[in-house]
Amino acid sequence: MTTSHLTMEQLLAVRDGDRSEPAYADAHQHVGECDGCRLELDRLHQRTARLRALPRMTPARNQFPAVRTRVVAERRQRRLRAVGIGGLAIAASLALVVMGRDLVQPNRLDAEQQIATAKSESQQLEQKLHDWDPQSRVLNSRAAVMVMEIEDRIADLDVRLAQTQESDRQLVLWQQRVGLMNTLVEVHLTRASNVGF
């Protein structure tokens, strides 16, 4: 017979009714005589009963197929998006190459047409200025200085146009001349006043 209290292993053997070893058989007898060990055995029974009374935790239905399907769809969308963006980038690059080449080096015929258009615009602006007769108008000193600077720049462009044979360079010069003529007309229209005042 044991004089000390039972170990947890011995209490579990008593709970399960195990008498296979002599120590377990003595444990059964000790529980009948020791109030402390009997109380501990009762607590062990209560814990076991409470654990058995807990609701069963069953896993939810298998979500893996739904998650897998969603992941596969998202990957497909990312790939399609990447392919679409790549396709747009390639198309934009090709358009830039095709159009950019024409912008940097316009076709000879295009350059000739653009030069003719610029010449026509320049002549129309000169005619408009002539019809308006700026000689009969008085300009303030600031406007007069601006007119002289613009006319000097136009004269300089005319000299460069006479010396240039390359159509691309002529186109740039004619476009600059049209811009200066527009500015000259604007200065005369906005800054001049009639002599008769």
CB 192 within 8 A of CB 180: no
Q: Stretch 77-95: mean pLDDT, rounded?
A: 82
Q: Stretch 148-172: mean pLDDT, rounded?
A: 86
| Angstrom distance (rounded) from CA 26 to CA 162 | 128
Residue 174 pLDDT > 60, yes or no? yes
CA torsion through residues 171, 177, 180, 182, sign? negative
| Angstrom distance (rounded) from CA 71 to CA 42 | 53
Residue 108 pLDDT > 70, yes or no? no
Which residue in this structure is represented by tokens 């003719």?
A: 116
Q: Where are the alpha helices (DSSP H) in the chain?
A: 8-16, 22-33, 35-53, 64-104, 108-132, 141-163, 167-191
**Averaging pLDDT over each range in 8-12, 16-20, 134-138, which range is the top one?**
8-12
Q: Which range is least confidently modeled, 1-15, 51-65, 181-195?
A: 181-195
Could you tell me the pLDDT band of residue 83, with boundaries at 50, 70 and 90? confident
Residue 192 pLDDT > 70, yes or no? no
**CA nearest to 143, candidates 190, 97, 96:** 190
The mean predicted confidence, pLDDT, of the chain is 80
Could you tell me the pLDDT band of residue 44, with boundaries at 50, 70 and 90? confident
Q: Stretch 166-175: mean pLDDT, rounded?
A: 85
Q: Which residues contact 132 (CB under 8 A, 6 or more apart)?
A: 185, 188, 189
Could you tell me the pLDDT band of residue 147, with boundaries at 50, 70 and 90? confident
Q: What is the pLDDT of residue 69?
A: 92
Kind plus residue range of the DSSP H or E element containing 194: strand 192-194
Could you tell me the pLDDT band of residue 75, with boundaries at 50, 70 and 90? very high
Residue 195 pLDDT > 50, yes or no? no
| Angstrom distance (rounded) from CA 12 to CA 90 | 76
Residue 73 pLDDT > 90, yes or no? yes
Q: Which CA distances in Å does 150 have to 122, 128, 146? A: 14, 16, 6
Q: What is the pLDDT of residue 196?
A: 36
Residue 107 pLDDT > 70, yes or no? no
Residue 11 pLDDT > 70, yes or no? yes
Q: Stretch 141-154: mean pLDDT, rounded?
A: 83
CB 157 within 8 A of CB 176: yes
CA torsion through residues 120, 121, 124, 129, sign? negative
